[in-house]
Chain A
């Protein structure tokens, strides 16, 4: 079975803090994705990566950056957290053109 793990289930941070969300997959997938999910807005793509050291902006990249130094690991960085970044963050991975498998999510609260 594909397994996607995220570093934290719940996270509470202060405004202005730098926040790192880590995602690891164990199925040698080329593609990795970061989404946020908010009530009424659905799933929105923040960034994705097709290969190591490659990244592409999704629909809402502002305020975020990413890092992919190894194939199995994709990190989402909030350079200076703000209250409007309070959300559920979901990581996913896939083979090229195939279904995405999601992690359990990280519920981030920014105070």
Chain B
């Protein structure tokens, strides 16, 4: 069964304290892995797509990486405005549906 697991469920950081969020997946043929940011009461905002192992994408303080079993979202020197829930999703080769993880709730304190 296709599955996505994110860890940790919640992460508290001090401003400037770098860390990583994990997304482990099992899927019958990976078509793409997606990262989203979601602020409370709003829809998810697209961040990155990764298609193959070894691929990396960067945007400001965020960097996403992909292996054959997991993806990491690295946050370098985070700021309070980076506080949000980060969602990971995978798309299998068969069909266009996304399978979402439960998310990691990130809190960055000044």
Contacts and interface: CB of A to CB of B under 8 A. Distances in A.
Interface of A: 4, 31, 40, 42-43, 45, 48, 50, 58, 88, 90, 92, 94, 96-105, 107
Contacts, number: 48
27 contacts: A31-B96, A40-B102, A42-B103, A45-B97, A45-B98, A48-B96, A48-B97, A50-B96, A92-B43, A96-B96, A97-B32, A97-B96, A98-B32, A98-B49, A99-B32, A99-B34, A99-B46, A100-B46, A100-B98, A101-B46, A102-B36, A102-B44, A102-B46, A103-B43, A104-B42, A105-B41, A107-B41
B58 interface: no
Contacts of B32: 97-99
A93 B34 CA distance: 14
Of all A-B residue pairs in the complex, the 8 with the closest CB atoms, nearest first, are A102-B43, A43-B100, A42-B102, A105-B43, A102-B44, A104-B43, A99-B49, A99-B46
Chain A CB within 10 A, most for which of B42, B43, B103: B43
Bin chain B's interface residue count: 20 to 34
B87 interface: yes
B52 to A, nearest CB: 14
Contacts of B100: 42-43
A105 B44 CA distance: 9
B44 A90 contact: yes
A96 B91 CA distance: 11
Contacts of B31: 97
